[in-house]
Amino acid sequence: MRRLHGKLVIATHNAGKLREMRELLTPYGIEAVSSGDLGLDEPEETGADFVANALIKARAAAMASGLPALADDSGVCVDALDGAPGIYSARWAGEAKDFYAAMARMESEVEKSGSPSRRAHFVSALALVWPDGEEFSVEGKVFGDLTFPPRGTAGFGYDPCFTPDGHDRTFGEMSAEEKHGIPADGAQALSHRARAFQLLAKNLLEGDSSPVANSGR
Ligand code: IMP
């Protein structure tokens, strides 16, 4: 597998995602610019799953910039709702980005489903595309239980209604370091996004070429 070094584009117009990705990449000597900084358009996310959407965004940014491009796509999948909202997680919050309304909808749809299951998982897909067309993608997941009413004010999105397995606090009650931190001893991180980044780093940044998840052209 090819190594990543030098400069890359992060295919996002979201300042929070850019900052988080930059912080993760800086220790590896990677200089990250954003597709927003370069004035690149955001393509429509028409993929059927998280990896497909991350690849759409990374391909568009790599072709337009001539640089390797990294993109992510993420969301929460609820077992009782057959995986919804999934790739529509952001859209459930509407134009107003009201995640309390989205969590209320989730609670009521789970109730209506009649399923006793309160299981859910977050997924984060990361895709890296080089301008010559080589592609690499990984998925990180974290499993847990839905918690209603939501608890905690930390984090964002659906964090207050998700308690990861092995914990009794929701993501909304955890510090950023506890949720997203990458353990220095090589242990598995907690969040789906941090887990996806660990897989990306292992494959593209650290010289360990063991194959993980999807890779290829
Ligand atoms: P996108 O990846 O920007 O398309 O949006 C993913 C959506 O999934 C976000 O707007 C959140 O609603 C939700 N989501 C993804 N990751 C997390 C997380 O770590 N905590 C809470 N919500 C998340």
Of 13, 56, 15, the residue nearest 36 (C-alpha) = 13
Q: Whose CA is nearest to atom 15 of ligand 1?
A: 75
Q: Judge if the beta carbon of residue 73 lies within 6 A of ligand 1.
A: yes
* The pLDDT of residue 36 is above 70: yes
**What does the pLDDT read at residue 211?**
38
**What does the pLDDT read at residue 217?**
42
- pLDDT, average across residues 81-105: 97
CA 210 to chain centre: 22
Domain 7-205 CATH (choose: 3.90.120.10, 3.40.640.10, 3.90.950.10, 1.10.3720.10) = 3.90.950.10
* The pLDDT of residue 213 is above 70: no
Q: How far apart are CA 140 and CA 147, in angstroms?
A: 21
Q: How far apart are CA 12 and CA 37, in angstroms?
A: 10
Q: Whose CA is nearest to atom 20 of ligand 1?
A: 159
The HSE-up count of residue 53 (CA atoms within 13 Å, CB side) is 20
29 phi/psi in degrees, rounded to 5: 75, 20
**What does the pLDDT read at residue 15?**
84
* The pLDDT of residue 159 is above 90: yes
Of 140, 196, 142, 139, the residue nearest 170 (C-alpha) = 142
pLDDT band at 14 (very low <50, low <70, confident <90, very high): confident
Radius of gyration of the chain (CA): 17
Contact (CB, 8 A) for 82 and 26: no
pLDDT band at 26 (very low <50, low <70, confident <90, very high): confident
Report in angstroms the alpha-carbon separations of 82 from 77, 121, 145. 8, 12, 15
What is the SS3 assignment for 143-202?
A: EEEECCCCCCCCCCCCHHHEEECCCCCCHHHCCHHHHHCCCCCCCCCCCHHHHHHHHHHH
- pLDDT, average across residues 100-118: 98
How much is the mean pLDDT over the chain?
92
Please give the model's pTM, rounded to 2 decimal places: 0.91
pLDDT tens for 38-91 read 999 999 999 999 999 999 999 999 999 999 999 999 999 999 999 999 999 999
**What does the pLDDT read at residue 32?**
92
What six digits make up the tokens of 194? 């941090």
Query: Does 165 qualify as catalytic in the annotation?
Result: no
Probe residue for ligand 1, chosen from 14, 17, 18, 76 as the CB with the greatest number of ligand atoms within 8 Å: 76
Probe residue for ligand 1, chosen from 10, 12, 50, 74 as the CB with the greatest number of ligand atoms within 8 Å: 74
- pLDDT, average across residues 180-206: 93
Q: How far apart are CA 120 and CA 78, in angstroms?
A: 4
* The pLDDT of residue 216 is above 50: no
**Range in 1-5, 7-11, 61-65 the model is least confident about:** 1-5
